Amino acid sequence: MGASIRYTYGATVNKVVASGVAETVALVVGANVVTIKVIKPGYGPVIYTLTITRAA
């Protein structure tokens, strides 16, 4: 069985995204924090936190 991929950004919480599929996320000017959680059965979750800065 494959991994479950979810992301949280702003009002979007734990949105499931298929592996290998692009997801468009509208960024605001300044720092944007996106958290990505990968869950694979039999393993603990892996969490990545990205800060993406959009210029004005």
Domain boundaries, given as residue ranges, for the chain: 4-54
- pTM, two decimals, is 0.83
Residue 37 pLDDT: 97
Token reading at 11 = 């009002």
Q: Report pLDDT digits (tens) over 2-53.
A: 889 999 999 999 999 988 889 999 999 999 999 999 999 999 899 999 999 9
Taking CB atoms within 8 Å and a gap of at least 24, the contacts of 28-35 are 28/54, 29/54, 29/55, 29/56, 30/54, 33/9, 34/7, 34/8, 34/9, 35/7, 35/8, 35/9
Residue 1 pLDDT: 65
Residue 24 pLDDT: 92
Residue 20 pLDDT: 86
